[in-house]
Amino acid sequence: MSRFGIRKKLKSALGFGKGPEITTRSITFVLPDGTERTLEVEQHYSLLMAADAHGITISTGRRAGGTCPDGKCGLCRVQILDGTGLSEMKTFEDDTIEAHVRGDPHEGRPRKPGPPRLDNHRLGCHTKVREGGARIQIEALFDPDSIKGEAE
């Protein structure tokens, strides 16, 4: 056994090196086909991270899924059916949704105006899970076939 393995065993036996206890909360995602999945997700995760941790990849418009580098694309829009336990909307998130609806350029590229905004729209990358009980309608899932190249 290496010296690092011995050190790890000693720290474990003495109770050192244990990370903080992970707190989970129960939230429900309603998928585009109407299927509901109630999941235990880590507190303080964004809806985008929480869904992705359970194999539900919310469509973001990014080529390989995931978030945009600046959090301003506005493409991970979800509908909040029950906002119990979710973070409050900040001005930055509100401005990002409005910019997407108007079709303001993003990352130096022009874009078409997005779909109209509903009162219950939020961005999955900005909305954090604080407590349990929320119900979220996912409008679109990431389609892995959209990034496949030409067949040879």
Q: Is residue 11 situated within a structural domain?
A: no
Whichever domain contains 113, its CATH number is: 3.10.20.30
Q: Is residue 10 situated within a structural domain?
A: no
Q: Is residue 6 situated within a structural domain?
A: no
Closest listed residue to residue 22, CA positions, set 42, 47, 44, 52: 42
| Domain with 84 in it | 16-142
Q: Give the ranges where the chain is alpha helix by DSSP (H).
A: 3-14, 47-52, 91-102
Q: Is residue 47 situated within a structural domain?
A: yes
CB 113 within 8 A of CB 75: no
How many domains does one find in the chain? Answer: 1
**Buried/exposed code over 6-19 (b: 16+ C-beta within 10 A; e: otherwise):** eeeeeeeeeeeeee
- Say what the pLDDT of residue 2 is: 56
Instruction: Give the tens place of pLDDT for each residue, 36-62.
Output: 999 999 899 999 989 988 888 888 766
Q: Is residue 23 situated within a structural domain?
A: yes
Q: Is residue 5 situated within a structural domain?
A: no
Q: Is residue 85 situated within a structural domain?
A: yes
| Cβ partners under 8 Å of residue 80, min gap 6 | 86, 120, 121, 122, 127, 134, 135, 136, 137
Q: Is residue 8 situated within a structural domain?
A: no
Instruction: Give the tens place of pLDDT for each residue, 65-86.
Output: 556 777 888 888 999 999 999 9
Is residue 7 predicted with pLDDT exceeding 90? no
Residue 20: C-alpha distances to residues 9, 10, 94, 131 (Å):
18, 19, 32, 18
